[in-house]
Amino acid sequence: MDLNSIEDVKALNEYKKIEQIQRIEQKFHRLGLVPYITFFGLVAYAFFSLWVGGGSWSYMHFMLIATSIASVGYSNVERTDLLKQLIELKYGN
């Protein structure tokens, strides 16, 4: 692509900015699904472990639950960082 004028350079920069905004919004949306997927996974796990296992919980069960909670927390932190980037790109300088 030939950049013959300042307007071409500005248009190219704007195009790259729009692409970056779209990538960030896509990641933001995918990370928003993590709590729902984790919830349904834990419900299914609890149902089958209680149904098959007979109702006794071990420390490994609690470790799974704690890891799931940590992964949801981490995805929320990542979403916050992406939201900051998105606001900077859309409304920043």
- pLDDT tens per residue, the chain (93 residues)? 566 788 888 888 899 999 999 999 999 999 999 999 999 999 998 888 878 776 677 788 889 899 999 999 999 999 999 999 999 998 885
pLDDT digits (tens, 9 = 90+) for 11-25: 888 999 999 999 999
SS (H, E, C) the chain: CCCCCHHHHHHHHHHHHHHHHHHHHHHHHHHHCHHHHHHHHHHHHHHHHHHHHCCCCCHHHHHHHHHHHHHHHHHHHHHHHHHHHHHHHHHCC
